[in-house]
Every structure is written in C-alpha cells, then in structure tokens.
Amino acid sequence: MDGIEDAAGRTNPENQRARKKLYERMRRHNLAPLWEVLHDILRPAPASPCAPALWRYTEMRPYLLEAGNTNSAAEAQRRVLVLENPQLPGQSRITRSLYAGLQIVMPGEIAPAHRHVAAALRLIVEGAPGAYTAVDGERTAMASGDFIITPSWTWHDHGNESDRPVVWLDGLDLHIVNLFEAGFYEQWPEERYPTTRPAGSCLAEIGAGLLPVDDGGGGHTSLLLSYPYARSREALDSLARHQAPDECHGFKMKFLNPLNGGWALPTIATCMQLLPKGFHSVPYRSTAATVFAVVEGSGSTLVGAERLDWQRHDVLVVPSWVPHEHIAATEAVVFSFSDRAAQERLAIYREQRGPRRS
C-alpha cells in the first residue's frame, strides 16, 4: 500500500485531504502532479479527438459560388470554406495537425500575393484554361486533378483568366508550424508578384528526371511546382498493368521530390491511388490521420464502425490509428495527404495492416 489507497483500493480520506492541500501549495509555484494526469498524456495507443467525416462536393459547391458572388477575392484575401473536423469546431482543423479548405477564384479575379511559413498543397477540383497559380514569379496552369505545391515562405498569388469559376482543395501544415510557434506571414504590396521565370521552367529543368549539370540541388522541398494529373494517371495505369494491387492500397504512388526521393513537401505526405472496380481493401491504420479527395469514380470507405459513401470531388478524413477499408464501386482515383512525412522525420510513424473482417 502506498499511503493513498488501502488494500481494497479505497481512497484514504485523510490522504485525499492532504493531497488537496499539497496541490494548492504547489500551484503557487507553477507545479503540478504528474501522477494525476499520467494516464491522459501517456496512453497505450493513440486516442484521437478527431472524428471520421465526409464533405460532399454537391453540398459544398453552392456555398462556394454564393461566397464568390458576395465577397471579392481582394476583400477576403483567400475565399475559402474551411473543412472543420466535427469534433474540433472553430479550430480550422481537419486533423489535429493539418488544415484543409476549398478555395474558389471567380472569372477575372486575382487572389493577392502573400507568403507564409506554412507550406501548402493544391489539388485542383475544377480547373480551366487561363487559371493559374504563381510561385516566386513562375506561373503554373491549373487543370482538374493537378497537384500543385507552394513551398514554405514563397510568394504566391492565384489568378483566373477564364470565363468560369476555378476551385481547388488547399492543404497546409499550418498547425504543425503553429505548434512550434514558428509562423510568419507577409503581404506583397501589389496584387501580383513579378513574373521572373517563364511558365513551365520547373518542369523543363527537372521534370524529366534530369537536372541542369551545374545545379547544386538541395532543399527538402521539391523544385517541381506542378504534378499534372495526366502524368499521375498515366503512372497509375502503367503500374496497374505491371503488378497486382496492394491489398490495403490498390495501386498507390507517392509524389516525390526528384532531388532526393523523399516526399514532395517535408511535412506533408501526398499520394495518388487507383482503386480497381470492385476492389475491397484489407483494413489498414496508421498514426497519420489522412485526408482523402476523390478525383474520379465512386465507392465507400469503412472507418471504424462508420461507412462513408463517396463520389467524385468529395473529401473525407480518417483519424489517426482508426482502421479503414476502401471499397470501389467503380474504378476510382483518390488523392490523399497526411502528416506522415513529418512523423517519419521524427521517427514516430507507425502503421498496421489487416486482418480482414469476417
């Protein structure tokens, strides 16, 4: 017996009163007893406060259009609908570490140039000829399904020179940056950052698996700004022709930094996967809470005890360490992002496969 509980496990009232007085004295010196909270901060397995959730594009798009007609890009800076996890309202979080939102730029608009420490990704949902994002003076086109990155602390603006709205999914490591209290933000004095490089420069310099001979390389972030969907789809189709699907992921490929083979962004893991029609994955879970965005097709994802039925352009989130299974009603292509890249750099990432449900 340790003096707190008797042999039967009953709390000793006298010790309970003594502890209360002890804690009151300790608080005056900004001290707290670990033994009172140890079970909350050291757990046998992850216990995320996040919930599985699905955002249907058919329900979100009308709000985007209404916002586009009532609030200009100049007024809003970024006209975005934040995808908030239902268990974390008011925190601008889709997971504890990541931010996600749907952004719209109306015809003829420019989202003004700024920069921030948080790195960003864009998955283009509704692209159009004439729509672009510009990063540090280089424009890249926005076509549906394209994956575009905005590295940390780079000037960027977005424009839409087409005759229809352009929409994309934003993902940022905002809450990782804020956890370390390392966030900075700066506004460029004009709408656009000056164009300093011809469009397509990044793809020309490194997109074919080659690099100019005198380029020193380096950096943890990919020098490619854009990963066009046509190339991603071709790579998935080629993989599917040459090997069997992975039992958990179907045909899944990572977007990589061609200079070092790592993730395209140092904190956010980004992938594209092909699920053949009728494919039903073996349960899988990992410590990286993951956001999935449907590029093509329809199906369902079983997340714990929930079933999320999805179709093209829908977004769903799977919390950390919750088993999930994908079921493809049609052939489907799904983009995903998570904080796996950051976890791997910290050597804390863990995953588990199977077993299949009976």
| pLDDT value of residue 198 | 84
Give the residue from 144, 102, 150, 119 showing the smallest Cα distance to 291.
Answer: 102
Reported confidence tier of residue 9, pLDDT bands at 50, 70, 90: very low
Specify the range with the lowest mean pLDDT, choosing from 78-87, 180-189, 211-220: 211-220
Cβ–Cβ under 8 Å, residues 73 and 112: yes
Q: How far is CA 209 from CA 136, 145, 222, 253, 340, in A?
A: 22, 22, 12, 17, 25
With residue 293 as reference, give the H or E element that holds it. strand 290-296
pLDDT of residue 176: 98
Q: What is the rounded average pLDDT of the residues 7-25?
A: 82
- Write down how long the chain is: 358
Q: For the chain, which residues make up each domain, given as ranges?
A: 53-353
User: What three-state secondary structure class fits 303?
Assistant: strand
Residues 6+ apart with CB under 8 A from 240: 251, 274, 276
For residues 111 and 157, the answer to whether their CB atoms sit within 8 Å is: yes
Query: Do 127 and 277 meet the contact criterion of CB atoms below 8 Å apart?
Result: no
- What confidence tens digit (pLDDT) does each residue in 158-170 have? 999 999 999 999 9
Report residue 218's pLDDT band, with 50, 70 and 90 as the boundaries.
low
| Lowest-confidence segment of 35-44, 196-205, 292-301 by average pLDDT | 196-205
Residue percentage of the chain with pLDDT more than 70: 94
pLDDT tens digits, 305-347 = 999 999 999 999 999 999 999 999 999 999 999 999 999 999 9
CA 250, distance to chain mean position in Å, is 20
- For domain 53-353, give the CATH superfamily: Jelly Rolls (2.60.120.10)
pLDDT per residue as tens digits for the range 241-270? 999 999 999 999 999 998 888 999 999 999
Calculate the alpha carbon distances from 327 to 124, 204, 250, 298 in Å.
24, 38, 10, 9
Looking at residue 172, what is its pLDDT? 98
Work out the pLDDT band at 216, boundaries 50, 70, 90: low
pLDDT class for 217, splitting at 50, 70, 90? low
Main-chain phi, psi angles of 63, to 5 degrees: -65, -40
Q: Give the residues across from 158 on adjacent strands.
A: 111, 133
Name the average pLDDT for the chain: 92
